[in-house]
């Protein structure tokens, strides 16, 4: 399971290519290096599970161009690797969470704040995800029960990827 990410706010006219390169380097390079390191053992066993972590931002979030591009690249790598490994017993999938109530989220987004209201307005279920909910999706994709699932992005996002619900 690969989970790494750094995000910086950039609107289209403000994207600095050095920042973009740094975000891609942090968000993609470790995933590629980790999979390359573990792949020989998985091939030898004829079995393996690769689960990458993407983000709801891939459906479009203003001000997150560089971060969203890095996570969209993760989704593309997942599909490409799934095709390359389809006959090996190794599956490759992605989990794309929406906003999750972690310590870091709460540090940056206090309960009851305008920022929290904005996040919740994007989620039809009108609540934040819990770390355990994301972990359950990952655990499933790592299990034998998910042996016929490969190349997929599973959005665990309270419905955020299907559109904004009107109250």
Active site residues: 67
Residue 82: name the closest of 35, 121, 130, 134 by CA: 35
Give the dihedral sign, CA 41/86/71/136.
negative
Contact 74, 53 (CB under 8 A): yes
The angle, 0 to 180 degrees and rounded to 10, between the axes of the packed helices 29-45 and 17-27 is 20
| CA gap 52, 146 in Å, rounded | 15
């Amino acid at each position: 399971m690969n989970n790494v990410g750094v995000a910086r706010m950039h609107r289209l006219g403000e994207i600095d290519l050095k920042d973009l390169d740094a975000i891609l380097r942090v968000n993609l390079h470790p995933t590629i290096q980790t999979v390359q390191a573990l792949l020989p053992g998985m091939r030898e066993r004829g079995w393996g599970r690769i689960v990458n972590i993407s983000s709801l931002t891939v459906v479009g979030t203003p001000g997150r161009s560089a971060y969203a591009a890095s996570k969209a690249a993760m989704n593309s790598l997942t599909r490409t690797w799934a095709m390359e490994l389809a006959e090996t017993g190794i599956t490759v999938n992605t989990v794309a969470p929406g906003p999750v109530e972690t310590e870091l989220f709460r540090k940056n987004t206090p309960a009851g704040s305008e920022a929290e209201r904005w996040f919740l307005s994007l989620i039809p279920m009108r609540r934040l995800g819990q770390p355990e909910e994301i972990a359950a999706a990952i655990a499933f994709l790592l299990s034998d029960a998910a042996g016929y699932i490969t190349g997929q992005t599973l959005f665990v996002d309270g419905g955020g990827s299907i559109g904004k619900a009107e109250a």
